[in-house]
Structure 1
Amino acid sequence: MSEHVGSLLGLLCLFQIKHMFADFYLQTPKMLSGRGQYLHAGRAQHAGVHVLGSIIAFVIIGAPVGFVLLICVLEWIAHFNIDYCKACYSERKSLAPNMADFWRAMGTDQALHQLTYLAMTAAWVHFAHG
């Protein structure tokens, strides 16, 4: 495996690990409540936890600071809004874990986050990877 492919896979792996922790282990009650309100401090904090994890991932692979700051601001915006849309849909439909639509919403949310990581990795390859 080339060094280029190895670093690409390494970054994607780091994103997967940070996503697991940020989405499933580090959410507080404040982050989980009242998510249907757009200007929600808990959702902003949750997106911030994701950004912090991404910063760590990019530092590990040696990405330039300017690139990291710009891409992580964009990630925060994307994550905040993806979660808001899922919350609005889930509240409007009164979804619960025993409903198929709950899992469709969860799956769509997770897929959009994964596509964000692919876009971030592609940007790193195009703009920042030497």
Structure 2
Amino acid sequence: MPATLGTVLLMLCLLQIKHMFADFYLQTPKMLSGRGEYFHWGRAQHAAVHVIGSVLVFLVFGTPLPFIVIIAGLEWIVHFNIDFAKASYSDKKQLMPTQAAFWRAAGLDQCMHNLTYVAMVWAWATFAA
């Protein structure tokens, strides 16, 4: 599929919808507990849910499999580490939802994920479309 403005915007929208479901509807208690620990199986599973959703989006656009494998692996690593950084910071500062710093950390986390999707779509348009 060609990388027209319409396809780029549609891909970004689908990745945003995927993100909403993976981050806010599909997290299990295991994914949400103990997040300040780096080697956390729940965080690995959570990042994998994101990757599965992204793979489905890229398949819809007829993306070549080698590109999907590379971008999925990179997304898993980036998502895992963004989430760790937020969890580690929030734990160290003992942040609670009643504090502005909690929401700044959550906002930065979401911004970093959104910028990841911009980079992924750029890579798709540049190397796979």
Shorter-chain TM band: over 0.9
Verify: 1:58 aligned to 2:58, yes or no.
yes
Amino acid at match of 1:50: H
Q: CA deviation at 1:5?
A: 1.1
Stretches of structure 1 lacking an aligned partner (at least 5 in a row): none
RMSD of Structure 2 on Structure 1 (CA)? 1.1
TM-score, L = length of structure 1: 0.96
Provide the C-alpha distance between the structure 2 equivalents of 1:90 and 1:15, rounded to a whole number of angstroms. 26
Verify: 1:106 aligned to 2:73, yes or no.
no
Identical counterparts, % of pairs = 61
Q: Which residue of 1 aligns with 2:86?
A: 86
Q: CA deviation at 1:117?
A: 0.2
Amino acid at match of 1:61: F
Provide the C-alpha distance between the structure 2 equivalents of 1:65 and 1:102, rounded to a whole number of angstroms. 39
Q: Kindly tell me: are residues 3 and 38 of structure 1, through their superposed partners in 2, closer, same or farther at Cα, counting changes over 3 Å? A: closer
TM-score, L = length of structure 2: 0.97
Greater RCO (Cα-Cα under 8 Å, separation 6 or more): 2
Provide the C-alpha distance between the structure 2 equivalents of 1:62 and 1:7, rounded to a whole number of angstroms. 12
Q: Deviations over 1:51-101 (max 9, x none)?
A: 000000000111110000100100000000000000000000000101000
Q: CA deviation at 1:6?
A: 1.1
Stretches of structure 2 lacking an aligned partner (at least 5 in a row): none
Q: How many residues align?
A: 128
Q: Which residue of 1 aligns with 2:71?
A: 71
